[in-house]
A and B are shown apart, each in its own frame.
Chain A
Amino acid sequence: MAAVKLIGSPISPFVLRTMIALSLKKVEYELLPEKLGEKSELLLKSNPVYKKIPVLIHHDRPICESAVIVEYIDQVWPESGYGAILPADAYHRALHRFWTFYVDDKLFPSLVAIGKAETEEAKAEAVEQFRAGLRLLEEAFVKLSEGKAFFGGDHVGFLDVMLGCFVVWIEAMEEVLSLELLEEATMPALHGWVVSFRAHEAVKEVMPESGKVVEFFKMIRAMRMKAAADAAN
């Protein structure tokens, strides 16, 4: 019986966040994927408030919400693997948490809006909003990294994990929609960060294959378009 279980699969960027954290800490766990369209008893029991993945179950106690889970992992296994994820000083912790709020509250919804846009205009607007958000993160990266490879400096930190989980989705959407979202020209530092992040051993271990994410994105897009067409008839 594994002491640590994680409900979900890495196709979900929020699940991927928690997997990256567990991987950084070299913590062993049992992954319990959910079936698409069906929620397991365990999930409903463990996360009655939101009924969503990821849920970390540690010694039979559930922890929900990806940001909460990553902070929990960092606190329970402080020195394991690659060491601390949250920065050492309170001010930098506040900055990583502030930008995580921004990523979850503004950046991620604008990414979703790109995928859901039904007209060219709506798509263009969503793309511009997303790029504007990335430009803010470019500036934040320059300040926080202090010339090193990650938001956490020379090691992968909280914001690296909280933002890095979307990299494979950004790339998948760029491919399927023939767009450039993370523009090398206007976001050179972030571009460099993506390379460093993807190259990290702990990240490589859990990052889903680009091909799988592309297929999944195409599938949900097709499902959504069919649902819209059916509703219109």
Chain B
Amino acid sequence: MAEAVVLLDVWVSPFGQRCRIALAEKGVAYEYKEEDLSNKSPMLLQANPVHKKIPVLIHDGKPVCESLVIVQYIDEVWSDGAPILPADPYARAQARFWGDFVDKKIYECGTRLWKLKGEALQEAKKEFIEILKVLEAELGDRKYFGGDAFGYVDIALVPFFAWFYTYETCGGFSVEAEAPKLVAWGKRCMERESVSQTLYDPLKVYEFVGFLKKKYGVE
């Protein structure tokens, strides 16, 4: 039943996109509800009282919060689709480790690239390039982070592929120059319908960040 699964989300959110990609990969029908974060719905406030944030997956009336918790939940409930996390315990631990790395590093550092100026921006740029290089090394020559199969780490990271243009433009560097394998990986992921149907054009993301910059009074 489609109405049994609802996703509270915001179009541009990379965290929401993780959930959309996972649901698409599993072929799960769901109702998408766009939230206005300046006017949060009672449904959102009730479903995520602790953080009042999206994404929230509501399954049979029960809310699940935190994007990577949601992705794991989707993997476990719709277990007859292709697995998102590998079955082998060691491979699974590696996937969780790298998913956590992406979670801890990309968004926070990336945000500093468009919010800050001067010394602080240069510091953020250095850190972000370092993060890219670590991911580049981890990916190596594999098709996906999960190896031959598109999986958890790919899902955790790929929404940010649409943000690379924004990050490199604000930061004054080239993602492709620093991490060519990562860019090739992103393009491969975009060949998957679940990804291409979910990610927005990088220019649209850049435009959105422009609007955020005005809102926060960033030059």
Q: Does A124 contact B (CB under 8 A)?
A: no
Provide the residues of chain A in CB contact with B96, threshold 8 Å.
65, 67-68, 71
User: Cβ of B64 and Cβ of A68 under 8 Å apart?
Assistant: no
User: Cβ of B89 and Cβ of A75 under 8 Å apart?
Assistant: yes
User: Cβ of A101 and Cβ of B66 under 8 Å apart?
Assistant: yes
User: Cβ of A71 and Cβ of B93 under 8 Å apart?
Assistant: yes
User: Cβ of A97 and Cβ of B90 under 8 Å apart?
Assistant: no
Q: Does A159 contact B (CB under 8 A)?
A: no
- Is the interface on chain B under 10, 10 to 19, 20 to 34, or 35 or more residues? 20 to 34
When C-beta atoms are compared, the residue in chain B nearest to A56 turns out to be B93
Name the segment of B28-36, B72-80, B164-172, B182-190 touching the other chain.
Answer: B72-80
Q: Does A108 contact B (CB under 8 A)?
A: no
Provide the residues of chain B in CB contact with A1, threshold 8 Å.
none
Question: Given the complex of chains A and B, what is the CA–CA distance between A65 and B62 in angstroms?
Answer: 29
User: Cβ of B89 and Cβ of A76 under 8 Å apart?
Assistant: yes
Could you tell me which A residues sit within 8 Å of B by CB distance?
Answer: 49, 58, 61, 63-65, 67-69, 71-72, 75-76, 90-91, 93-94, 97-98, 101-102, 136
User: Cβ of B92 and Cβ of A98 under 8 Å apart?
Assistant: no
Q: Does B153 contact A (CB under 8 A)?
A: no
When C-beta atoms are compared, the residue in chain A nearest to B64 turns out to be A94
Provide the residues of chain A in CB contact with B69, threshold 8 Å.
94, 97-98, 101
Could you tell me which B residues sit within 8 Å of A by CB distance?
Answer: 50, 59, 62, 64-66, 69-70, 72-73, 76-77, 89-90, 92-93, 96-97, 100-101, 134
User: Cβ of B101 and Cβ of A49 under 8 Å apart?
Assistant: yes
Provide the residues of chain B in CB contact with A93, threshold 8 Å.
72-73, 76
Question: Given the complex of chains A and B, what is the CA–CA distance between A97 and B103 in angstroms?
Answer: 14
Question: Given the complex of chains A and B, what is the CA–CA distance between A58 and B76 in angstroms?
Answer: 25
Please give me the 6 A-B residue pairs with the lowest Cβ-Cβ distance, nearest first. Answer: A90-B76, A72-B93, A75-B89, A68-B96, A94-B73, A97-B69
When C-beta atoms are compared, the residue in chain A nearest to B62 turns out to be A91
Q: What are 12 A-B pairs at a CB distance below 8 A?
A: A49-B134, A64-B97, A67-B96, A68-B93, A72-B89, A72-B92, A91-B73, A93-B76, A94-B69, A94-B72, A101-B69, A136-B50
User: Cβ of A67 and Cβ of B100 under 8 Å apart?
Assistant: yes
When C-beta atoms are compared, the residue in chain B nearest to A101 turns out to be B66
Provide the residues of chain B in CB contact with A67, threshold 8 Å.
96, 100
User: Cβ of A63 and Cβ of B93 under 8 Å apart?
Assistant: yes
When C-beta atoms are compared, the residue in chain A nearest to B60 turns out to be A91
Other than the known A71-B96, A98-B64, what 6 A-B pairs have Cβ atoms closer than 8 Å? A68-B100, A71-B93, A91-B64, A98-B65, A101-B66, A101-B69
Question: Given the complex of chains A and B, what is the CA–CA distance between A136 and B50 in angstroms?
Answer: 8
Q: How far is the CB of B151 from chain A (nearest CB, A)?
A: 15
Provide the residues of chain A in CB contact with B70, threshold 8 Å.
94
User: Cβ of B77 and Cβ of A90 under 8 Å apart?
Assistant: yes
Provide the residues of chain A in CB contact with B65, threshold 8 Å.
98
Q: How far is the CB of A113 from chain B (nearest CB, A)?
A: 18
Q: How far is the CB of B37 from chain A (nearest CB, A)?
A: 19
When C-beta atoms are compared, the residue in chain A nearest to B79 turns out to be A90
Provide the residues of chain A in CB contact with B89, threshold 8 Å.
72, 75-76
Q: How far is the CB of A70 from chain B (nearest CB, A)?
A: 10
Question: A72-B89, A76-B89, A102-B50 given as contacts; is B77 within 8 A of A65 (CB)?
Answer: no
Provide the residues of chain B in CB contact with A64, threshold 8 Å.
97
Q: How far is the CB of A47 from chain B (nearest CB, A)?
A: 10
Provide the residues of chain A in CB contact with B76, threshold 8 Å.
90, 93
